[in-house]
Structure 1
Amino acid sequence: MNTASAIQRFHGLSSMTQTYWPGLAVTGAVAIAAQFLSDHYGAPAMLMALLLGIAFNFLSEEGRCVAGIDFSAKKVLRIGVALLGMRISIDLLVGLGGGTILLLVSAIAATILFGLAAAKLLGRGWRLALITSGSVAICGASAAMAIAAVLPKNEFSERNLIFTVLSVTVLSTLAMIGYPMIADAIGLDARATGIFFGGTIHDVAQVVGAGFSVSPEAGETATLVKLIRVTMLAPVVLVFSLATRNVASVGETGKRPPLLPGFVIAFLILAAVNSFGLVPGLVSKIGMETSRWALLAGIVAVGMKTSLRRVLDVGGDAVALIVVETIFIGLFILTGIYYLGHA
């Protein structure tokens, strides 16, 4: 009986491998290509992954790769978000001080509320408002993917995610170039510059690039501030999940989603374990690398599932929305810096 059960399980595992492996292999290969382009030409890896994924859109329409691409776009992506918890610890919060933490939390809440109001004025839906404002407020592409995973789905969900990831990546790159000139023009010192960069630039890589282009102190402060924003990912995703729990996804019926998504629970557990110093350095390093590659593969898969024509159909008002959200958080953080006396 045990032998028969083992054989049955083996056949089931073999069947799953045959189902998912082609798509997983394709998304992995494209993710490696995106990282190669990033390493050798300086382009953001997320942007390269997204654009290459869109170029291979035909693979998600039919054939052996469809199941694996869908698996990467959902499960692998969520694994990458969950492993971000290894970056977080209580020491990060203690190191910045209460005033700066309050400023960051206020900026995140204000940006999301501003995004909802601006979207209503522009005639756009609340789903686009939440995903764009959340990604601008917290951590760019990673936040966009985490928020998209818990929002109720409609016919525009994948298009909105692709648009948001593309937009925040481009805006982050522009900010990495332009914000150091703004900080110099208004006379911010190294600490204030770091708070400005870490509190406003969307993606971690661009925060690091902008900060260390000014000075080591500005770079270290910017990175620390940015990671504090990343800690807000789990509570914001939880709030969004609870607020939209009773909204049905298009084409889906049955039981409501869980109160707390599994990947958010994993994020919080890893952050707690890391805070107590229970994660060895090597394990943490492996976890972060796994997270980076999982997010790359996930965004490749999301790109594959969305045609460029549908992304371009999003409209100029959506572009205006994410731009004004970016301007809003920048002005909010600068005002807070002056109010706290950092400038």
Structure 2
Amino acid sequence: MSAVSETTRRFQWLPAALSTYGPGLLVTAAVAMAAQFLSDHYGAPAMLMALLLGIAFHFLSEEGRCVAGIELSAKMILRIGVALLGMRISVDLLIGLGSGTILLLVSAIAATILFGLAAAKILGRGWRLALLTSGAVAICGASAAMAIAAVLPKNEFSERNLIFTVLSVTVLSTLAMIGYPILAQSLGLDARATGIFFGGTIHDVAQVVGAGFSVSPEAGETATLVKLIRVTMLAPVVLIFSIALRNVPQEGVEAGKRPPLLPGFVVAFLMLAATNSVGMVPAAVAELGMEASRWSLLAGIVAVGMKTSLRRVLDVGGDAVALIVAETIFLGVFIVAGMHYLGHL
């Protein structure tokens, strides 16, 4: 009887938690499944569908029983999805590409972020938007945007900037998936060079895979590998941002309260990557983890969409659009120039 009582005592918080968070979690899960259904049947990017459907249900985040669960999805569930991306990473990926290509990718990420800061200053935009857009463009699109947003100091425009960035990189990735194969053909790139170009320039993983395999299996495999190297850089970049911005005050945060030096989801990302590198993650578990990551990110972006008014997103301005387009063009030019220098062209 005492064991039963102890078990009951330990889980007595569960009904209250389900009552508080359950409705919002169920709503975000249902909308995420709808987004995936639309993606599977009509070919639209799942992230884009999740974002647009989330915005359509913005009213649910304003008041009512769903508010707490939507907030939980937009923060914790989202970060779980980013952390589980570590299961894709291993040291073998780095070895397979060669030091020259890896150096090119690392240089492209650093240069794109610096370019974004400089361009934002010229356009009169803030450094938060610059880091968010340039990091998303340079690394892995929507996933990077959500990870970077989690460590940037918050202000009144944080959610608006995140939703704008996710929407923009998803649309630009889709356009690149259509247009870059034509560009690669006009440049006379072979299959390996085409894969390096796609993997080094297209923002989101799904569009990289789509563009690569639309050309050839070799181009698709190379593009996926190169893209995953860029994903590897997510944790170091987020860590650098976290350390550099740790003392910047945030609106709505208690005075003297600092964010952790190393965010928990970054620690989890690195631990999973290290575990995967030494072969301790079975293939079935890795596959399950990636599915969980995909659904967590979908639910998270649904929740972010629900929390943001479309009117506020449209208020971001044409100069912000110019900024993220300029960063995309800069990354493409940098990668092509680097490929020429390395002899891939």
State the TM-score, normalized to the length of structure 1: 0.98
For 1:3-22, list aligned pairs within 5 A. Answer: 6-22=7-23
Taking the TM superposition and a 5 Å limit, the aligned residue runs for 1:100-111 are 100-111=101-112
1:289-342 Cα deviation digits (max 9, x unpaired): 000000000000000000100000000000000000000000000000100001
Task: List aligned pairs for 1:39-50, cutoff 5 A.
Answer: 39-50=40-51
Gaps of 5+ in 2: none
Query: Which residue number in structure 1 is paired with residue 303 of structure 2?
Result: 301
Query: Structure 1: how far apart are the matches of 2:57 and 2:212?
Result: 35
Q: Do residues 272 (structure 1) and 274 (structure 2) align?
A: yes
Paired with 1:188 and 1:337, the residues of 2 have a C-alpha distance of 10
Within the alignment, does 1:139 sit opposite 2:140 as a pair? yes
Cα distance in 2 for residues equivalent to 1:2 and 1:15:
22
Partner of 2:68 in structure 1?
A: 67
Match of 2:265 among 250, 263, 288: 263
2:284 is paired with a residue whose SS is helix
1:6 to partner: Cα distance: 4.2
Name the SS for the 2:279 alignment partner.
coil
* Secondary structure of residue in 2 paired with 1:73: helix
- Code of the residue aligned with 2:51 in structure 1: it is L
2 CA distance for matches of 1:299 and 1:272? Answer: 27
Which of 312, 317, 320 is residue 318 of structure 1 equivalent to? Answer: 320
Matched with 1:152 is 153
1:162-217 Cα shifts (integer Å, max 9, x gaps): 00000000000000000111111111111111110000000000001111111111
- Structure 1 CA distance, aligned partners of 2:9 and 2:283? 39
The aligned residue for residue 245 of structure 1 is 246
TM-score after normalising by structure 2: 0.98
Deviations 1:22-47 (A, max 9, x none): 00000000000000000000000000
Q: Deviations over 1:62-114 (max 9, x none)?
A: 00000000000000000000000000000000000000000000000000000
Q: CA deviation at 1:255?
A: 1.9
**Pairing 1:159-170 to 2, within 5 Å after superposition:** 159-170=160-171
Q: CA deviation at 1:115?
A: 0.2
Q: Aligned partners of 1:76 and 1:45: how far apart in 2?
A: 17
Matched AA of 1:211: G
Residue type at the aligned position of 2:100: G
Residue 55 (structure 1) aligns with? 56
SS of match in other structure, 1:187: coil
Distance 1:3 1:174 in 2: 58
Give me the whole-angstrom Cα distance separating, in 1, the residues matched to 2:122 and 2:161: 18
Amino acid at match of 2:205: V
Measure the CA separation in 1 of the matches of 2:3 and 2:130. Answer: 53
Q: Aligned partners of 1:295 and 1:6: how far apart in 2?
A: 33
Runs of 4+ residues deviating >3 angstroms: 1-9
Alignment of 1:225-240 (within 5 A): 225-240=226-241
- What does residue 172 of structure 1 align with? 173
Distance, in Å, in 2 between the alignment partners of 1:283 and 1:6 is 29
Query: Identity across aligned pairs (percent)?
Result: 82
Helix, strand or coil at the partner of 2:11: helix
CA deviation after TM superposition for structure 1 residue 251, in Å: 1.3
Aligned to 2:127: 126
Tell me the secondary structure at the aligned position of residue 11 of structure 1.
coil
Q: Which residue of 2 aligns with 1:91?
A: 92
Q: CA deviation at 1:11?
A: 2.4
1:123 Cα offset (Å): 0.5
Cα distance between partner residues in 1 of 2:37 and 2:77: 20
Q: How does 1:185-264 map to 2 (within 5 A)?
A: 185-253=186-254, 254-264=256-266
Q: Which runs of 5+ in 1 are unaligned?
A: none
Aligned to 1:31: 32
**Following the alignment from structure 2 to structure 1, what is the Cα–Cα distance between the partners of residues 147 and 124?**
24
1:340 to 328, 339, 342: 342
Q: Aligned pairs, how many?
A: 343
Deviation at 1:9, TM superposition (A): 3.2
Task: Give the root-mean-square deviation of aligned CA atoms.
Answer: 1.0
- Find the aligned partners of 2:270 and 2:117 in 1 and give their Cα distance: 27
Cα drift, residue 10 of structure 1 = 2.6
Partners of 1:5 and 1:63 in 2: how far apart? 34
